[in-house]
Amino acid sequence: MIDEKFDAIVIGAGMAGNAAAYTMASRGLKVLQLERGEYPGSKNVQGGILYADMLEKIVPDFRDEAPLERRLIEQRFWFMTDKAHTGMHYRSDEFNEERPNRYTIIRSQFDRWFARQAQSKGAILLCETTAIELIRDAYGKVVGVRTDRSGGPIHADVVVLAEGVNGLLGTRSELRPRPSAAHVALAVKEMHFLPPEVIEARFNLKGDEGAVIEAAGTISEGMAGMGFIYTNKESISIGIGCLVSDFAESETSPAKLLDIFKKHPSVAPLIAGSEVKEYAAHLIPEGGYKAVPQLFGDGWVICGDAGQLNNAVHREGSNLAMTSGRLAGEAIFQIKSRRETMNKANLSLYKKMLDDSFVLKDLKKYKDMPELLHTQAQNLFLTYPQLVSKAMENFLRVDGKPKIDKEKDTFRNFRKARGFGLIGDAFRIARAWR
């Protein structure tokens, strides 16, 4: 029996959990953090890109110590067909600023560091400890958790569920529904190790500069999905993800998609000669605004992936997680300093803060996008990339054909695509983007 009572118990030591634990502990709250993995980050999978601004709001001088891989100075978007890609690159020396805006990170290292920051502020972290049940009082208010270790429940004023997309505590306790197959993507990722100088030569980088490639098109075999290539210091993260419901229908496997992506003539030379040291898979919440569950109640709040707080359009997850964790921590601190109870009415402050922040504003903006990508997947990921690719080839190939005929060809192709609903899709995307 544990007599001790905590101000807050945080479930999970990922981005959301660490941000919440850090925010509360640094304001003097008594925080217990439970992590089911052997160490923070051991269960986490992300590409991954770290957005500096959101972390700066939590740990202002993180650049001094955090394990960062490369600062991103170049972004490439690739529209892919089987043999080609049409790309848009943006590279700027402006990104080589004193306080760079985006970095690649390796979560197993980063999360450890982040959790240590929370610990240094006084949070207590127990690893290899899974919260399996919420403890409620006679009125139904959550007052603590039971773990998979013997020795009774641990009590706290509030439980912060930052347990990730697939966390079982919230779903078992019916605080949130199990995410449906259409609301989660399954992403697979490999880490390809190469000497830093090889990576720098292949991606035209120097020092700690980094580049990112995001690719969509025929690589996802007509499903809504995206491939990515991130440069780390001594490795390249390469992966691809599609909606679980699409995988279920298509009978293709994530491993097969990744294989197609890796063998693509535009990709293969980038990873040639590398040594694969890690293969990982993870779910990504992609349901958007409409899939966000109730995020607070009597004695509990939900942060990060567990709350479907992920912006699939901008591929931002970790910063929504961090920010929601920070806001939960700030809300709890405010309630605590007013000496009020952690009931539903008071914890609605957290939701209000989320509503006012970019987290829910961004998700609201793109609320129709997930459905659109899903229903128009064939067109968006198979037909249009091929149209664009054909047009580019037509424009560039010099074969003695009069240019006027070539233009007519291209025009004809696009006109044919009207039958598939090209104009309608353009209109729908514009509306979903607005």
Task: Please give the residue ranges that form the binding site for another protein (CB under 8 A).
Answer: 2, 4, 32, 38, 124-126, 128-129, 147, 149-152, 154
Question: Between residues 116 and 367, which has the closer beta carbon with respect to another protein?
Answer: 116
Nearest approach, Cβ of 243 to another protein (angstroms)? 33
Question: Between residues 129 and 389, which has the closer beta carbon with respect to another protein?
Answer: 129
Question: Between residues 2 and 201, which has the closer beta carbon with respect to another protein?
Answer: 2
Question: Between residues 107 and 176, which has the closer beta carbon with respect to another protein?
Answer: 107
Question: Between residues 87 and 122, which has the closer beta carbon with respect to another protein?
Answer: 122
Nearest approach, Cβ of 119 to another protein (angstroms)? 9
Residues near 69 by beta carbon (within 8 Å), at least 6 away in sequence:
103, 104, 105, 106, 208, 210, 231, 232, 233
Nearest approach, Cβ of 320 to another protein (angstroms)? 29
Angle at the Cα of 332 (from 130 to 302), degrees rounded to 5? 45
Question: Between residues 89 and 149, which has the closer beta carbon with respect to another protein?
Answer: 149
- The whole-angstrom separation of Cα 168 and Cα 179 is 11
DSSP-based three-state secondary structure for 394: helix
Nearest approach, Cβ of 152 to another protein (angstroms)? 7
The DSSP secondary structure of 89-142, one letter per residue, reads EEE-GGGSSSS-SEEE--HHHHHHHHHHHHHHTT-EEE-S--EEEEEE-TTS-E
Question: What CA–CA distances, in Å, run from 89 to 138, 193, 212, 213?
Answer: 59, 24, 10, 9
- The whole-angstrom separation of Cα 15 and Cα 37 is 14
Q: Pairing mode, if any, of strands 5-11 and 154-161?
A: parallel
Nearest approach, Cβ of 54 to another protein (angstroms)? 27
Q: Which residues pair with 278 in a beta bridge?
A: 191
- The whole-angstrom separation of Cα 3 and Cα 387 is 67
Helical ranges in 9-81 per DSSP H: 15-26, 52-56
- For 105-117, b where at least 16 C-beta lie within 10 A, e where not — what string? bbbbebbbbbbeb
Residues near 427 by beta carbon (within 8 Å), at least 6 away in sequence:
none
Question: Between residues 81 and 108, which has the closer beta carbon with respect to another protein?
Answer: 108
For residue 193, the tally of other CB atoms under 10 A from its CB is: 15
- The whole-angstrom separation of Cα 292 and Cα 308 is 5
Nearest approach, Cβ of 245 to another protein (angstroms)? 35
Question: Between residues 149 and 314, which has the closer beta carbon with respect to another protein?
Answer: 149
Nearest approach, Cβ of 124 to another protein (angstroms)? 5
Nearest approach, Cβ of 63 to another protein (angstroms)? 22
Question: Between residues 157 and 425, which has the closer beta carbon with respect to another protein?
Answer: 157
Nearest approach, Cβ of 186 to another protein (angstroms)? 25
The DSSP secondary structure of 316-330, one letter per residue, reads B-HHHHHHHHHHHHH
DSSP-based three-state secondary structure for 285: strand
Question: Between residues 279 and 427, which has the closer beta carbon with respect to another protein?
Answer: 279
Nearest approach, Cβ of 193 to another protein (angstroms)? 11
